[in-house]
Structure 1
Amino acid sequence: MPPFVHALIDQLRRRGLPLGVDDCDALRRALAAGFGWTSAAALTELCVMLWAKTASEAAMVRAAFARVEAPQWTLAAPVADAPAVPVPAPPPSVADGPAPVADPVPAVVEPAPPPVAAPGDDLPAAPPGTGRVDTRLVLTPQYPLTEREIVQVWRGLRRPTRHGPPVELDVDETLHRSARLGVPVPPVLVPARRNTTRLLLLVDRQGSMTPFHRYVSHVVQAIQRAGRLSALTVVYFHNTAGSADAALLDAIPDPFDPSIDAVLPALPPLRDGTLYQDPALTVPVSLRSVLSLVTATTGAAVISDAGAARGTLSPARLLDTVALGKALHAAAGAVSWLNPLPASRWPRSTAEQVARHLPMFPLTRAGMYQAVDVLRGRPFPVARPL
């Protein structure tokens, strides 16, 4: 392979694209078969077809090609010298008489110059006067997790059950029935296993979540493209989905104590709230109607900083959040919370108190694995479960 491809692979691996020996071998075989030699753009698109699985990964590969210091991609191959071709003499004319016989002079045909590939149209033009591309200006979004990593995590959220028409062969039952009857029997068919897990995703928007909008949208889109869930419902809210009983604020024994354990049994589940169907929070939908579609096979996941970004504790927001958690627990099979801030930012904030009642994890790869385990039914200890 060309030497600059190794630098390209190193750069893509640093960006989170898991390229291995098989991917390098696939490129080597494609080049040996004659693909990707016409231009630099053809080589770029060849690598996109071999390595990229999504549109974001394709953009990552193209941007990496623009940043790598690559020589001009040409078809400069050694061409063998052509053999000498004798040029026949013209036939003699009758008027001139017999022409003297002369030895033929061999004429050497010059070999054609090797074809040179034109520069790719998709690569950025070099700035005038420099002769090279300013690689600092080639920018692509680089999130903490790639789409492939997020999809690998959420594909583990499965509850396979047999559902639908019988289309699969049950070998054990067919053999058992044939042995019991002693005669050949028709094959026994059973329905195929299907993932019946449903997911309700509640995403906090605006306010302190504004710096995380692009990353959270990247995570949500990756979950939607995973395509392994029976149903996925994404709704949005701002800080809280509704207001709990404000009278409980006065019932807290110590206003300086951040915990609400004393009033937790009297806190009713939040039923009358407002969610939104779009990230801009312009299409409202009632919380009661969303909860009415939740079944026992539905897992509920909340993506919010829960006040950790500002580092403050709001008793009113804590009551509203715990009331929403009670409503989700009563309707869904399991509830987990994903926080875009690390756990070191939770102390002395509302998020620290919410984590005492709901399983809360950072929005990292390890945190999402833990959240998926909770949604699959694995218990997670909290200080004061709802």
Structure 2
Amino acid sequence: MTAPDGGGPGRDDGPAAPRWVPELLGQLRRRGLPLGVDDALALRQALAAGFGWSSTSALLRLCVALWAKSAAEETQIRAAFARLDLPEWTVDSAPDRTVAPVVPDPAEPPTTLADPADPTPERSPESPAPPPRLTPQPPGLSLPPLHTGRYDRSLVLAPHYPVTGRQVAQVWRGLRRPTRYGPAVELDVPATLDRFARTGLPTPPVLIPRRRNSTRLLLLIDRQGSMTPFHDYVDHVRRSIADAGRLDSLLVGYFHNTAGRSPDQHLLTELPDPFAPAIDPVLRLVPPLPEGRVYDDPDLTRPRQLTELRDAAGRNADAVVVGDAGAARGGFSSGRLLDTVAFVKALLTTVRTVVWLNPVPPARWRRTTAEQVARHVPMFPLTRDGMYRAVDVLRGRPATLERAL
């Protein structure tokens, strides 16, 4: 098979690659896939080995097999491939089979290949074709619209988030606390040599447990309301952490705005300036939230006690709260600030560290509840750099806060 440059994957004797390869790689790099020269050479070697030549879909499957590391990346590759101006081609590898014509015997009456049991009469070439037989559709279903065979390649869309799943996985794999636990399967060379030196006799090797990541993470996500525009992005980050974060355990809970109302709302009346946004004079008097409620599902239909989820995470766990903290609507609420402080204090009674990831850009935190929450809780934007900084705090690096809880 031969194909023109820019059409099918034509074999190229020179060093230059077909023009669709740089275009495809450029689109995928703009979408966040870290593809480079090695990936282009891998595609070239696969084409030279004979793969991806049978059809356009075979070439697409080859690119997916070489470059995609997850289902999301496969979707991005398929969307970028559909935007290329590549003609459809198919190579039929089946051999040509020529059937010799059958010469009828004039002494025998003409026969037909129709089945005698078939009651359908033979139709002559001059007779009109019978109307198509329509299959009755079940109630409530309709026939699909006719396909024109033309489509706009620029309308092939795929999700494009600020961070890719691979980048999220790279960030959260840095949250590691190696601990030896489990069965003793790893050889302890120093202890084995020390035993042999002390006894002078052949002894069994000393085995110790393998190092494992003992990080336990409690992820609490604000849902619905002002967080509705960020649902897909937050779900993308959550899936990436769960699939490739390599944590010991990940517990996920959902809430709306806060996990509950603080029972000491009268503290707001004790502020010297009731119109001031800060609650520093009564910050130490705010008790932890006693009866908080979270949900096990993103639709907020299966409630669960916050204390139950917090105790299931354990005392060595870390907590990450994902929410806008009132920054999406651009307003300030003293009651929400009080409830949020009580919510975070309830988490700090058992977990080790609490950080806050905000999907709203930091420029919009000013003069909102999020600005005041960031004075008491380490808050970072839900970006790649923000997650790196949050992981550093979870690993033990101190965060600079005006009034830490």
Which TM class, normalised by the smaller chain length? 0.7 to 0.9
**Residues in 2 aligned to 1:367 and 1:46: alpha-carbon distance in whole angstroms:** 35
Q: Which is further off, 176-185 or 294-303?
A: 176-185
Counterpart pick for 1:50 among 66, 71, 88: 66
Answer yes or no: is 1:34 the counterpart of 2:50.
yes
Q: How far has the Cα of 1:73 moved from its partner?
A: 5.1
Instruction: Confirm or deny that 1:297 pairs with 2:316.
Output: yes
Secondary structure of residue in 2 paired with 1:383: coil
> Of 34, 43, 59, which residue of structure 2 is paired with 1:18?
34
Q: Which of 82, 101, 107 matches 1:66?
A: 82
Deviations 1:157-193 (A, max 9, x none): 1111000111011122222322333343322111011
Tell me the CA shift for residue 274 of structure 1. 1.1
CA distance in 2: counterparts of 1:164 and 1:345, whole angstroms: 47
* Length-normalised TM-score, structure 1: 0.83
The match for 1:235 among 233, 244, 253 is 253
Give 1:288 shift: 1.9
The offset of 1:127, in angstroms, is 5.7
TM-score, structure 2 as length reference? 0.80
Pick one of 265, 287, 290 that aligns with 1:271. Answer: 290
Counterpart of 2:355 in 1: which secondary structure? strand
Structure 2 Cα separation of the partners of residues 345 and 292 of structure 1: 34
In 1, Cα distance between the equivalents of 2:199 and 2:89? 71
The residue type paired with residue 60 of structure 2 is T
Alignment of 1:1-386 (within 5 A): 1-72=17-88, 133-244=151-262, 245-386=264-405
In terms of mean alpha carbon deviation, does 300-309 or 326-335 score higher? 326-335
Query: Distance in 2 between the 1:224 and 1:201 partners?
Result: 10
For 1:182 and 1:332, the matched residues in 2 are separated by 49
What is the SS of the residue equivalent to 1:65?
Answer: helix
Structure 1 CA distance for aligned equivalents of residues 62 and 193 of structure 2: 49
Contact 1:37 / 1:43 at 8 angstroms: preserved in 2? yes
Name the CA distance, whole Å, in 2 between partners of 1:63 and 1:334. Answer: 40
Deviation at 1:289, TM superposition (A): 1.3
CA distance, structure 2, for counterparts of residue 294 and residue 59 of structure 1: 34
Q: How many residues align structurally?
A: 335
* One-letter amino acid matched to 1:56: A
Amino acid at match of 1:175: L
CA distance in 2, matches of 1:73, 1:4: 15
Deviations 1:43-93 (A, max 9, x none): 1001101100111100111111100122455779xxxxxxxxxxxxxxxxx
Deviation, 1:313, is 0.9
How far the C-alpha of 1:11 sits from its partner, in A, is: 0.5
Counterparts of 1:20 and 1:232, CA distance in 2:
33
How far apart in 2 are the matches of 1:282 and 1:66?
A: 39
1:126·1:134 contact (CA, 8 Å) conserved in 2? Answer: no
Percent identical? 61
Aligned residue identity for 2:260 = G
Q: Kindly indicate whether the alpha-carbon contact (under 8 Å) linking 1:127 and 1:134 is maintained by their aligned counterparts in 2.
A: no
Deviation at 1:351, TM superposition (A): 0.3
**How far did 1:377 drift?**
2.1
- How far did residue 258 of structure 1 move? 0.9
> SS of 1:163's equivalent?
strand
CA contact (8 A) 1:295 1:333 kept: no
Structure 1, unpaired ranges of 5+ = 77-124
Tell me the C-alpha RMSD between the 2 structures: 1.8
Q: Which residue of 2 aligns with 1:100?
A: none
Could you report, residue by residue, the CA deviation over 1:262-308 in whole angstroms, capped at 9, with x for unpaired residues? 10111001120111111111111111211222323200000000001
SS at match of 1:194: strand
Distance in 2, Cα, partners of 1:4 & 1:67: 10
- Matched to 1:334, the amino acid is T
